[in-house]
Amino acid sequence: MSVQIIGAGAVAEEPRPGGCDPWFDPAAHLGRRGWKYLTPATRYLLAAGNEALGRRHDDPPLTGTAAERFGVVTGTQYAIARVHHRMNSVLSTEGVHGISPAEVPGFSMNTPGSQLAISTGARAFSVTLTNPVTAGLEAVQFAVTALRTGRADTVVAAATDQAPEDHGGSGEYDAAAAVVLSVRGRTPGPAGAARPLATVTGGLSRFLPPGPAGDADPAALAASAARVAALARGTGGVRLAVGAPPAAAPLATAVHDAVTKALADDGTPVRDPAAGGIRPARHCAASGLLDLVTLARAGGPALLLSISELGHLTAIGLHSADTVGSEFI
């Protein structure tokens, strides 16, 4: 069963020397009303999700069978970190009376994804995943599994993050990205791209435990690399991109090298290695999905990995839109 990416959207803050002006204008993306009490991460997610679906924020939600077969899954790491920080500060100084009832729903990690599900009319499911760094690609993995097991016909896999308050100093920035996935041959409910962007050939998630020397356990690394390389089997060559935060750079290098070797052992060359390589995950959990959107729009076979400092690894395989992939691993 082939799963295709039929739409994509993204909004992302980029480093700007001395820039103090807001990078995101909610009115430009969401209209003049309906977002005042939503958290920034929720606004980002709605903007990216609407772009991916080809809809306006004030379009009516889906109803009937289309709604029942439409799901949303969202990955995030810091979406509510600043909300919690503010609430803790207010409760410690002013007490509960300093908290506005309108901002209380923002306390929940599920709020961004739930708002996207409500506005679009998704009734199959609304799920939030929260692993650091890898949650964006994990959302794609969850979505493909849901489609292949018949839980939905169309799913928005998304990620959104508002970096911690010291994000300028830590090199982390705000962003959201979304892709619309649909089972081949089934008509999606919302309007997506004019033609599919790519086919998801498979995906997997693994944990790389540390070895005796403190780096990744060699056996676990080799086994995981072999499973990742299998996602590209039969493609004739792939672009390989590995995303990780600076603290995970040594692990990312080890994974990149191990996957490259495993691909070579399978007879699958890495195409255009200078354009792939290791990418800084500066947009937190949205980083992997931002890279996936870029690779899907570029076309052609690709392997994309997200790696956290703790050793979590998620990989997604892509191919051209008319390719039928192997079963999901």
Same CATH topology for 3-183 and 198-319: the answer is yes
Entry pTM: 0.90
From residue 34, give the alpha-carbon distance in Å to each of 29, 30, 318: 12, 8, 36
Residue 326: its pLDDT value, please?
Answer: 45
214-253 residue pLDDT tens: 788 999 999 999 999 999 988 889 999 999 999 999 999 9
Q: What is the mean pLDDT of residues 182-186?
A: 72
Question: How far apart, in whole angstroms, are the C-alpha atoms of residue 2 and residue 327?
Answer: 8
Question: How far apart, in whole angstroms, are the C-alpha atoms of residue 214 and residue 196?
Answer: 43
Evaluate whether 147 touches 181 at the Cβ level (below 8 Å).
yes
Please give the mean pLDDT across all residues of the chain.
87
293-315 residue pLDDT tens: 999 999 999 999 999 999 999 99
Evaluate whether 133 touches 149 at the Cβ level (below 8 Å).
no
The count of C-alpha atoms lying within 13 angstroms of the C-alpha of 103, restricted to the half-sphere facing its C-beta, is 15
What is the domain partition of the chain in residue ranges?
A: 3-183, 198-319
52: nearest Cα among 111, 140, 130, 124: 140
Question: How far apart, in whole angstroms, are the C-alpha atoms of residue 205 and residue 140?
Answer: 11
205: nearest Cα among 287, 314, 76, 303: 314
Residue 21: its pLDDT value, please?
Answer: 74
Is the domain defined by 3-183 classed in CATH 3.40.47.10?
A: yes
Beta bridge partners of 177: 10, 159
Q: Tell me the CATH class for 198-319.
A: alpha beta
